[in-house]
Chains A and B, each alone.
Chain A
Amino acid sequence: MSQKVLLSSKEINIILHRLACQLLENHLDFENTVLIGIQPRGTFVADRLTKILKEEYGVKHINVGFLDITFYRDDFRRGDKTLAATETKIDFLVEGKKVVLIDDVLYTGRSIRAALTAIQSFGRPSEIELLTLIDRRFSRHLPIQPNYRGRQVDAINDEKVKVMWEENDGKDVIYLISN
């Protein structure tokens, strides 16, 4: 097994700032926009972006939620393992709001498909956008593309992209792992 650094801490930081600016450009004061981090690992991206928007760009209030998609996945009973759920925390209505779904890696697109179904349990958003830190090209199973992407990566199927965060894993770094 070998792993190489895809993005360093500094590069991640620059990319997060760019993504924050792109969100700002389209959503201004975030009055009518909500950010939804997809569990388990999109929540870190959502939290970081929120922090940057608030602290460095003076956005006063942003609605941020975490969405667990386990019960909406299409591979229930298809693997060997029971799918474990994580917490959903959306304490606002998404009815009529612009929703930005946020995840760390966009791969097959199936998680996003599940998230698109799941978010409807919280109302009918006026529109939904997708932000991903890493976009794995040529690996989609479904016609889903991000509106905001951090870095596009060509990774072959048995390679893995691993995103690590300081608050969870000790440091910010993204690895490309191949067997």
Chain B
Amino acid sequence: MAELSVKHLLGIKYLNESDIQLIFETADHFKEVINRSIKKVPSLRDITIANIFFENSTRTKLSFELAEKRLSADVINFSAGQSSVKKGETLIDTVNNILSMKVDMVVMRHPNPGAGIFLSKHVNASIVNAGDGAHEHPTQALLDSYSIREKLGDVAGKNVVIVGDILHSRVALSNIFALKLQGANVKVCGPKTLLPKYVESLGVGVETNLRKALNWCDVANMLRIQNERLDISYFPTTREYTQQFGVNKAFLDSLDKEIVIMHPGPINRGVEITSDVADSKQSIILNQVENGVAIRMAVIYLLASKIK
């Protein structure tokens, strides 16, 4: 049987198309498992996984932890806030100390881009990137594509627009890589200040008019305005952002066709999308969350099978 071409999941950039298909096919089986009354399989009972989060996370951390437990792995959790990192320990030392306790896999979120790649070169464990700064968030992109595939049957040939803060978003970058790899057409839409200068070199279109963008697309992925990353003013006020780039139900209903609404969460209700859009039948936001567990189970299962 096919196996992943990589030992770590550091970013979508390092995957090929058959890796993505393999992850999706495996996730199909795990989705069936997590919908049973007993949602657990014993595959990884001799694997120990450390979830190391140097940055806040609720959804991703819970999703990873649940995926690991559903696979029967032993799980240890570590948050930077309560750790020796504050006492000046380096990343390699921190991780090597954890690995000395016989840990096989590390799931890491870190504010610095490339932290996972750096770590993979210095420690002997399988690394899963759960978000590194504004760089990549591969499992999110995989679950986004998986949700599109589930809703529309296929990703290839679909038009997807990513709306919002593209500049600071790891979700956007990973999504662009993943969608392009599967043959989707991608556009980004947002205030000019929040679009990277050379984003077109990734093979994506740029659109600053939201109505035009949404009339073009099959799927709109509405990103959150990450106030914590906005060090300077990229737009005058949140209210003005919402007027230009927010979607409400009336706007959605006035489009030429019925599009699918996605959001990686957490939602700022009333900013990127209003509540009636988030809760509408066109929204697959909660499907994304459910699929997140299946996708993470698939990724961990496939990577763990390479640990000898």
Q: Identify B29's interface contact among A72, A82, A85, A123, CB under 8 A.
A: A85
Q: Cα distance A152–B144 when bound, in Å?
A: 51
Q: Is A103 an interface residue (CB 8 A)?
A: no
CB of A10 within 8 Å of the partner chain: no
Name the prevailing secondary structure of the A interface residues.
loop
Q: How far is the CA of A71 from the CA of B36 in the complex (A)?
A: 14
Q: Within 8 Å of chain B (Cβ to Cβ): is A122?
A: yes
Chain A interface residue count, CB cutoff 8 Å, equals 21
Indicate if A104 sits at the interface (CB-CB under 8 A): no
State the Cβ distance, A83 to closest chain B Cβ, in Å: 7
Residues of chain A in range 72-87 having any CB-CB distance to chain B below 8 Å: 72-73, 76-77, 81-87
Contacting residue for B26 out of A85, A88, A118, A122, CB 8 A: A85
Write the B11-53 contact mask toward A (1 if CB under 8 angstroms, else 0): 0000000000000001001001100111011111010000000
How many whole Å from B15's CB to the nearest CB in chain A? 15
Residues of A within 8 A of B307 (CB): 77
B305:A76 contact, CB within 8 angstroms: yes
Check A76–B40 contact: CB distance below 8 A. no
Residue numbers in B under 8 Å from A117 (CB-CB): 42
- Least distance between B48 CB and chain A CB atoms (Å): 13
- Please give the distance in Å from A149's CB to the nearest CB on chain B: 28
Chain A 104-139 residues near chain B, CB threshold 8 A: 117-118, 120-123
Q: Known contacts A72-B41, A121-B40: does B1 contact A77 (CB below 8 Å)?
A: no
Q: Mark each residue of chain B from 275 to 300: 1 if its CB lies under 8 Å from any CB of chain A, else 0.
A: 00000000000000000000000000
Query: Which residues of B approach A to under 8 Å, CB–CB?
Result: 1-4, 26, 29, 32-33, 36-38, 40-44, 46, 71, 301-302, 304-308
